[in-house]
Chains A and B, each alone.
Chain A
Amino acid sequence: MKRNDSILLAVLLLVTGLLFCLQPQPDQTKAAFIEVKADGKLYGTWRLDSPQTVTVTTAYGKNEIRIRDNAAFILHSDCPNQDCTRQSKIVNIGDSIICLPHKLVIEGKAEAGAAAVDAVAR
């Protein structure tokens, strides 16, 4: 009898645990756009809510950034070690992808406007 109890308990705990993990994240941490910096200087910014492929060409090489489903990742790069293509997607504020050989830094940024602000002094 006791063994069946434990099995039931384990199953229930597992299901609960899974449900906890699947809970949707609060919107406040999601990045609104990505900021691409090449060699320390701002190359450009692109919003995450418009799906597109951005090709960044610098003196160091070429990277293709794919923006899709409110996330960004490096689709293709002509750098030697391909580390950047394996880094996890940019979804939240502060997430980043770095292509070292190309001196490329892509960072997830917060909405600069009304969303993050409680009041406007005027």
Chain B
Amino acid sequence: MAKKITMAGLLVALAMILSYIEILFPFQVGIPGIKLGLANLVVLTALFFLTPAEVFCISLLRILLTGLLTGSGIALAFSLAGGVCSFLVMLACYKSGLLSPVGISLAGGTAHNIAQLATAACLLQTSALLLYLPVLLLAGIVTGICNGLIAAKILKSKAVLILMNIH
């Protein structure tokens, strides 16, 4: 149990660091608060050796803690929407067994951004924001692929064996 909590803590911390790093990227789409979703890397990798409930907790914790430490209320709303949607989509893809980590991440990244945009459109009460959809989709595709490739590499490495031993 202690090992699990430690592991979970580490993963949340890692996800928060990734959240912070993505602020440094010049990703500006005119809607303040929209993020790239680099932290999905942690969620994605965790899906392979933790239960869905555990992964969801880690993701939620990360979002709430990061939201409290940085960003506005709106950014938190986007993060939540993006995080929840991408988690659900990635879980479904993982369970289906149809896609490799890259594909799962691709789906997750795209879902993450679509969810953010939809939330923005609702909160700001305007459909004009949908103009940003193509750019956000493209961004989601890229981050998805990047995260997926990194996750694939990690999952193939020896580190994973250690992680798997937690159960």
- Contact among B106, B131, B133, B134 with A9 in the assembled complex (CB-CB below 8 Å): B106
A1 at the interface (CB under 8 A from B): yes
- Kindly list chain A residues whose C-beta atoms are within 8 Å of the C-beta of B106: 5, 8-9, 12
CB distance from A79 to the nearest CB of B (A): 42
Q: Mark A8-21, 1 if CB is under 8 A from B, else 0.
A: 11001101100110
Known contacts A9-B145, A12-B110; is-contact A1 B137 (Cβ 8 Å): no
Is A5 a contact of B99 with CB atoms below 8 Å?
Answer: yes
Question: In B103-140, which residues have CB < 8 Å from any A CB?
Answer: 103, 106-107, 110, 131, 133-134, 137-138
Instruction: List, in ascending order, chain A residues with CB within 8 A of B148's CB.
Output: 5
CB distance from B104 to the nearest CB of A (A): 9
CB neighbours (8 Å) of A81 from chain B are none
**B107 x A8 contact (CB < 8 A):** yes
Establish whether residues A13 and B141, one from each chain, have CB atoms under 8 Å apart when the complex forms: yes
Decide if the interface of chain A is mainly helix, strand, loop or mixed. Answer: helix
In the assembled complex, the CB of B25 is this many whole angstroms from the nearest CB of chain A, namely 19
B5 at the interface (CB under 8 A from A): no
Closest Cβ neighbor of B93 among chain A residues: A8
Residues of B within 8 A of A20 (CB): 134
Tell me the dominant secondary structure on chain B's binding face: helix
Give the size of the chain B interface in residues (CB under 8 angstroms): 16
Residue in B102, B131, B134 whose beta carbon sits within 8 Å of that of A5 in the complex: B102
Asked if B1 CB lies within 8 Å of chain A CBs, one says no
Give the residues from 34 to 52 in chain B that come closer than 8 angstroms, CB to CB, to chain A. none
Q: Which residues of A contact B100 (CB under 8 A)?
A: 1-2, 4-5
Select which of B98, B102, B107, B133 is within 8 A of A19 by beta carbon.
B133
**Distance in Å: Cβ of B128 to nearest Cβ of chain A:** 10
Given contacts A15-B137, A16-B137, A19-B137, contact A8 B99 (CB under 8 A): yes
Query: Given contacts A19-B134, A20-B134, A23-B134, is CB(A4)–CB(B103) below 8 Å?
Result: yes
Chain B residues near A15: list those with CB within 8 A: 137
Q: Are A16 and B103 within 8 A (Cβ)?
A: no
Q: Could you tell me which residues of chain A, from 1 to 51, have a CB within 8 Å of some CB in chain B?
A: 1-2, 4-5, 8-9, 12-13, 15-16, 19-20, 23-24
Assembly CA distance A2 to B148 (angstroms): 12
**Alpha-carbon distance A15/B110, docked complex (angstroms):** 12
Task: Collect the chain A residues with CB atoms within 8 Å of residue B137's CB.
Answer: 12, 15-16, 19
18 pairs across A/B with beta carbons < 8 Å? A1-B98, A1-B99, A1-B103, A2-B100, A2-B102, A4-B100, A4-B103, A5-B102, A5-B103, A5-B148, A9-B141, A9-B145, A12-B106, A12-B110, A15-B137, A16-B134, A16-B141, A23-B131
Give the B-binding residues of A (Cβ under 8 A): 1-2, 4-5, 8-9, 12-13, 15-16, 19-20, 23-24
